[in-house]
Amino acid sequence: MVEPRLATVLNVNDDDANRYLVNRILEMAGYTVLEAATGMAALLMAEQHRPDVIVLDVKLPDISGYEVCARLRANPDTASIAVMHTSATFVTSDKKARGLDAGADAYLTQPFDASELVATVRSLQRLRHAEQAARRRANELAEMDRRKDEFLAMLAHELRNPLAAIMTSIGILERNPTDNLKEARMRGIIHRQTHHLARLVDDLLDVSRITRGKVELRTGRLDLRAVLLQVIQVIRPGTEARGLGLEVSLPDSPLWLTGDATRLEQIFTNLLDNAAKYTDTGHITLRVEQEGVNGSAQAVVRVRDTGIGIPQDVLPRIFDLFAQADTSLERTRGGLGIGLTLVRQLVQLHGGQVTARSHGTGKGSEFEVRLPLLHFMEETAPAPLPRRTRAGRHILLVEDNPDARQAMRELLELWGHQVEEAPDGLRGVELAVQRRPELALVDIGLPGLDGYRVAQELRSRVGRDIRLVAITGYGGPEGHDRALKAGFDLHIVKPVKPDELDRLLSSL
């Protein structure tokens, strides 16, 4: 059985008699005692032996106890040691306050009783043990948080691979119309639910990154109307399938602002999806207006529904993580309870505000987003990009998931591209060197040679003639930055919508 370590006290006092007396009291109480007669000696011994408590006289021959305490606190190796000042000279309240302000944990004036000294040392020892336990717990929680983030990243990667195969396959099917109404409905269900799953995966990862301050916006000047039209195009089929009306009112002129188009789409997709989820019958209204506030212009977007409403006791915390209006055991509404948390965080990152209103259960709800617009002098629309005509390309597809690889190849060939495929990084590099494709779509998580190494090899052996696109289940700014450093031209996250991939290939 391992014997518990005896607590160690460093006794610092230049008076031999006082130092001896304190030593004897502490030793009789069961402590291991070290001693020092000067401030510099105390600092050296504290760093070497790391005592549990230091009994530190204020008046020392070289530097004062105040200075010793300040230096202990400034040194990371000794900052956590408990310090008790003692003094027979500096006994006034202002001197005690100075000692405590300098970092001491307690202050005893001499003469003191042996019981008072021992009780104070024990109190400081308990304080130190509590701090150490709290520090260990904080380190454990930080490690658990790190492992959780790693798990979520791996989970997203594993989920995105099958989602990519499903989304690509349904994209192929949708290009071959069917007269069978039942089959058409089933295709619509698969399409909507796949997109819903993809959004859930993105939200799950985003909430972890946002709460840790890891999300960076990729901003540029854009027209908010265009963003909202894109969102409506995605959302409308789902609302119509539920028998809900979607009324949209947009201004005639552009609403120019500085923002991240992807994140803005995420904001309004979440709000509209949330409105549809909590509305059984009736309609959803999206109304956009421009308002002036204190000499500056704002875009005001209101999403209103005729759904179940928000109870008054839930309304103040509706944007909190995992908060939901439907808290019944049946959980008929679904969702993770993180969408509105993402909305608030992303709106705030854009310099805006979001508020929720409801008159209570069964009376619908309204969410209002306010975003700052650019000054009217800056509202000149950017010159339109020249329209490009798409021609068949020679494409190398490097993907280790067989279903995802086959679905992507058939979709690309449907668009008229010549496709060669490789199941791993080594074969991908070999084919690229031999066949010299125009463009390579490369998964990151590949066996043998990962996608980053593939990009580096192709840049060194093929050069800049080949365009490289990373298609990966690992999202986040870290993966994006690493992909660009490795030599990729673009970094996109699975599952890629077929129409988005089509636009991407046309623009490269």
- Domains assigned to the chain: 8-112 (3.40.50.2300), 150-215+390-508 (3.40.50.2300), 221-378 (3.30.565.10)
Q: Which two tokens mark 308?
A: 């179940």
Whole-number Å distance between alpha carbons of 78 and 464? 55
Q: Which H helix or E strand runs over 430?
A: helix 425-435
> Cβ neighbours of residue 323 under 8 Å, at least 6 residues apart?
314, 317, 337, 340, 341
Single out the residue of 72, 77, 5 nearest to residue 85, CA to CA.
72
Whole-number Å distance between alpha carbons of 274 and 239? 11
The one-letter code for the residue type at 236 is: R
Q: Which two tokens mark 17?
A: 């008699």
Cis peptide upstream of residue 111 (ω within 30 degrees of 0): yes
Cα angle 73, 74, 78 (rounded to 5 degrees) comes to 55
pLDDT tens series, the chain, 508 aa: 434 456 899 999 998 999 999 999 999 998 999 999 999 999 999 999 999 899 999 899 999 989 999 999 889 889 888 898 888 877 788 887 888 887 888 888 888 888 889 998 988 888 888 888 888 898 888 888 778 777 776 777 777 778 888 888 888 887 777 888 888 888 877 877 787 777 777 766 666 666 666 667 778 889 999 999 988 988 888 888 888 899 999 998 899 999 988 889 889 998 998 898 888 889 999 999 998 866 688 999 999 999 999 888 888 888 876 555 554 433 444 555 577 888 898 899 899 999 999 988 888 999 999 999 986 544 444 444 444 445 688 999 999 988 888 888 988 998 889 999 999 999 999 999 999 999 999 998 888 899 999 999 999 999 888 999 998 876 666 777 888 899 999 888 888 878 778 888 877 7
Whole-number Å distance between alpha carbons of 267 and 275? 13
Q: Give the 3-state secondary structure of residue 375.
A: coil
Single out the residue of 124, 135, 136, 130 nearest to residue 9, CA to CA.
124
What are residue 124's phi and psi, to 5 degrees? Answer: -65, -35
Residue entry with tokens 């800049």: 464
Whole-number Å distance between alpha carbons of 101 and 130? 21
What are residue 194's phi and psi, to 5 degrees? Answer: -65, -45
Q: If you ran DSSP here, which 8-state letter would residue 385 be given?
A: P
Burial-class residue 346 by CB neighbours within 10 Å (0-12, 13-18, 19+). Answer: buried
String of DSSP letters for 471-493? EES--SHHHHHHHHHHT-SEEEE
Residue entry with tokens 């001197």: 95
Whole-number Å distance between alpha carbons of 408 and 89? 84
